[in-house]
Amino acid sequence: MSFAIDVSGLNKSFGDLHVVKDLSIQVTEGRITGFLGPNGSGKTTTLRMLCGLLTPDSGHGTALGLDIVRDAAEVKRQTGYMTQRFSLYEDLTIEENLQFSARIHSLDRRNHRVREALDKLGLTQRKHQLAGKLSGGWKQRLALAAATLHEPRLLLLDEPTAGVDPQARRSFWDAIHGLAAEGLTVMVSTHYMDEAERCHDIAYIAYGRLMARGTAEEVIADAHLFTWQGEGAGVDRLGPELLRQRGVEMAAPFGLTLHVSGTDEAALEAALVPYRREPFRWTQTEPSLEDVFIHLMAKAEDNVQ
């Protein structure tokens, strides 16, 4: 097994704020790794250290077999990085943006690369549209085309589908899986649980520390979290009351149902006994990724505080 990313003990501070704390992570070549965590947890800072845009205060490791500090310039050349904000020129067309990007990076076969990117991401029919007139989903496709124009071996995506409608998100992810099938390694930060489940594996970071790592199934199993789903009229309003009971660590409404979770199975079941009456019905269920991540976040120490 070959690792596209293999780093250990990464630390980064900005003034008194310790943003990334002793982070170690390995990412296998050709896989899509989801990078999750609450806002301000160090996801963007980590991605920038991995591609050579930021120098860690301490720690070491490699990206694409290159030292992330000593060979930072070469790492950047072989990495595609897509930022949270749309950063291309809105007064240029799709094709003009890609041609400009190819020129400033001194790429060979510019016309061929641009045509291939337009075709691969379904942009050919829109190539004469101004970037500023595109919807959020099409802007993200254009940004992805620009980020992969130089045929990188590693692609880092920082919350690429924030504010994009569900259909556009699905199309975007189909494109990501197509790129990964060609051997590209992808690391993507996201807040969407359905997107996390589309990744080959996930890493969860909370306030600078890596809290969980593995496939979605492994992360759920490692949390040792027990969950009951409540149904019936008014069950979704029981959350505040149940949270005062021993053994109940989370109580979150999902539509007209309620997910109640805890790590002490016996105490959790005992807490539900008074509520096992009409009109309520309780079924033990597998915790969702969202259940697990809320549980992990509750255990993390906010680095601002």
Give the chain's count of helices (H) and strands (E): 11, 14
- In order, the DSSP letters of 249-276 are -EEEEETTEEEEEES-HHHHHHHHGGG-
Across 124-138, average pLDDT:
93
CB 24 within 8 A of CB 62: no
Instruction: Give 3-215's CATH code, choosing from 3.40.50.450, 3.40.50.300, 3.30.56.10, 3.40.50.2300.
Output: 3.40.50.300
Q: What is the pLDDT of residues 283-293, one digit of tens each?
A: 999 998 988 98
Q: Mean pLDDT lowest for which of 1-5, 50-54, 117-121?
A: 1-5
8 token code pair = 């250990």
Q: Where are the domains of the chain?
A: 3-215, 226-286
pTM for the predicted model, two decimal places: 0.89
Q: Is the pLDDT of residue 123 over 90?
A: yes
Q: What share of the chain is helix, strand, coil (3-state, %, to 5)?
A: 35, 30, 35
Across 93-118, average pLDDT:
94
**Nearest-10 Cα torsion for 182, 187, 191, 192:** 20
Pairing of strands 226-231, 257-262: antiparallel
Instruction: Please provide the CATH number assigned to the domain covering 226-286.
Output: 3.30.70
Q: Cα–Cα distance between 234 and 219 in angstroms, integer?
A: 31
Residue whose structure tokens are 């807040």: 191
Phi-psi region of 226 (alpha: psi -120 to 50; beta: other; left: phi over 0): beta
Q: Cα–Cα distance between 110 and 16 in angstroms, integer?
A: 45
pLDDT of res. 304: 53
pLDDT of res. 296: 86
| Burial annotation 241-276 (CB, 10 A radius, 16+ → b, else e) | ebeebebbbbbbeeeebbbbbbeeeeebbebbeebe
